[in-house]
Amino acid sequence: MPQFMSLEAQSLLRMLFKRNPANRLGAGADGVEEIKRHAFFSTIDWNKLYRTELQPPFKPAAGKPDDTFCFDPEFTAKTPKDSPGIPPSANAHQLFKGFSFVAPASLDDNKGSPLLSILPIVQMHGGSAQFSDLYELQEDIGVGSYSICKRCVHRVSAMDYAVKIIDKGKRDPSEEIEILMRYGQHPNIITLKDVYDEGRYVYVVTELMKGGELLDKILRQKFFCTVKREASSVLYTIPRLSTTCTVK
């Protein structure tokens, strides 16, 4: 145990790191209340903290996840270097003997349906970058039976896009992607920006359409017959678009 730590901190860590989970602090009938009563937290009024009546010691100036404002420039200015760890000793496998933990989320993922046998997904960016490297997810736009659509922001250009996150265990996205790539230049078909295949999920990035759902617009109209010109335009566009896709 590091000796530079306070006695209260050392006591807290010792009680949390018991080999037998049943003996760890908070494993009893009182649960988290047992942890909150520990001497290390004696200066905290938990009721005031819950009611957000306590002033924080400081407020970070970071505005985004990758903001390095709070880091010393002495380190952020350095060129990143690979620093391999020290080779493990012969008895390194004994280091965590007796400890075991399995994340519940991992168990839930394993219960999902197996991946479908699908065709290779064409990734337009042609590199090894992942979706989260270039885009930041925002609020939901729509939720379907096999996918969820969210607004996303490009980290460099700050442009808004839409991303459809498709579960490959529920649907083969290759045909949908092929259609978008083939007919994306049509004025009435959404433009495909990029595709990221990351194992179980495929991220399909497209332009963001802010008009909303057609059905929602129809339901908002109390007297839809008063906008016959708008309705006729929609009814003319949909069959024409279907014909274009069918013929080609």
Class for the domain spanning 131-207: alpha beta
Answer yes or no: is 164 a known binding residue: yes
pTM for the predicted model, two decimal places: 0.46
Q: pLDDT tens per residue, the chain (248 residues)?
A: 778 889 999 999 999 999 888 899 999 888 999 999 999 999 999 999 888 898 877 676 655 656 666 677 777 778 877 766 666 666 666 666 655 555 554 445 545 555 454 555 555 555 667 888 889 999 988 888 888 999 999 988 899 999 999 988 888 888 888 888 887 777 778 888 889 988 888 999 999 988 777 677 777 776 655 566 677 777 777 777 777 666 65
Question: Which amino acid appears at position 116 of this protein?
Answer: L
- Listed by start position, the domains of the chain span 1-57, 131-207, 214-247
